[in-house]
A and B are shown apart, each in its own frame.
Chain A
């Protein structure tokens, strides 16, 4: 019964990621040569990989990445790979991050953003068959790292509700 109810709660991080994908597509109109929108889903994946990984299994991360790939119109599999790598790495290091202060969490996220740049640069270069310019990737990662405190406020609140509604076992 516990597993069944937990599968239902997977909808929470997935739903938050999908809202993030839509927010990322909103035409804000700033940036260089097209808007460089933050990857909101990366922040959600990171937060849940640290605090509630059982509510965000790899297949759900895969689904979110696929949606992000489809909606962005970019190479299929690119964001999926980035999110899964970030998820896997964060999950392996979660004991270092869980129950730590906000500053540690943010620092951890900055490292994850750096990892995301590396993975997406390698993946895009392989996909296109030439070395892509990494500058837009750095810009996007920097914007993503900067919005983390804002996203963290929302996610911490959601996590508090989840702790009551779907307690960890």
Chain B
């Protein structure tokens, strides 16, 4: 009795399999051609990212440990060469430091004279990369900075070296970060020292294009690229990379950050400065010109307000502590504290 039953069942199974395959193939093609990138897809993607974040974090720990071991082995191998290189670089940086401090004092004096208003300090949340999209079409990271820590779509994300991308969605456990190299990435930038504005356009290659330059713009390899702050999503003057010239002569962006090596990042909670904080400390300098302590205070106030968060190490406990440490002198530290403690709403419109 079993034989005839199977004979009937087999053709049914084969045709049901074929029908199922054709249907699913059609559905997949419709999804692809129809560009199904709706709100529902975004929400599902974020929910699944949130659900998988703890698992990814667990899986990424041994990988991170292995990467650290490999990195430290590399460092041991080149410790002498690295030491010599750092000594030379340190000497060069000392000269630059002296020049920067002198310029900073001069800028503080000019700003005080002009009653320049400065942008408020940028808050940030630090997180670790727990997931990497890994596909050939998408260059994105999953970072364990949730919405509760202030992460939101559009915010700039930086690592030790510079801008790496922006948050595209934030959830209850993690956020997705679109890298500068992704096909969908567009970041307004400025090329220094010429000051030309442009857009860094990701094209899934290692070097994003630098598009929408004015016709007269002539860029040189090695020119610095920083965020322009246009559009109000990202703070201005964040280091992004340098200009490289492609074999076809077009300018491209070589990012300061090496995405393959990045493990910790910082999400900058920058709000478009509709209302800016008046530089009260600097104003005081105008009235007390020549007073050394006051100048140092103004200098620190400027530092506190415009210091790019990028200059700080990732594990810094708080931006203000670092600025105090970098300012060096007790007077400067006092100035910083005063600038940070200033209540923005009270000092508006000065």
Contact = CB atoms under 8 A, between A and B. Distances in A.
B44 interface: yes
Interface stretch (A23-31, A103-111, A149-157): A23-31
B145 interface: no
Interface of A is mostly: helix
Interface in B10-51: 17, 20-21, 23-25, 27-33, 35-37, 41, 44-45, 48-49
Contacts of A28: 63, 132
Contacts of B133: 25, 34, 71-74
Given A25-B131, A34-B181, A137-B136, A81 B28 contact: yes
B36 A26 contact: no
Interface string A62-87: 10010101111111111011001101
B137 A22 contact: no
Nearest to B67: A29
Contacts, number: 161
Interface in A43-99: 53, 57-59, 61-62, 65, 67, 69-78, 80-81, 84-85, 87-88, 91
Interface residues of B, number: 54
Contacts of B214: none
Interface residues of A, number: 53
Given A29-B63, A81-B32, 8 more contacts: A27-B129, A34-B132, A34-B133, A71-B45, A72-B137, A72-B138, A91-B17, A136-B136
Interface of A: 22-37, 53, 57-59, 61-62, 65, 67, 69-78, 80-81, 84-85, 87-88, 91, 120, 123-124, 126-128, 132-133, 136-137, 139-140
The 9 nearest A-B residue pairs measured at CB? A37-B134, A77-B31, A77-B32, A136-B136, A27-B132, A80-B28, A33-B206, A62-B24, A34-B139
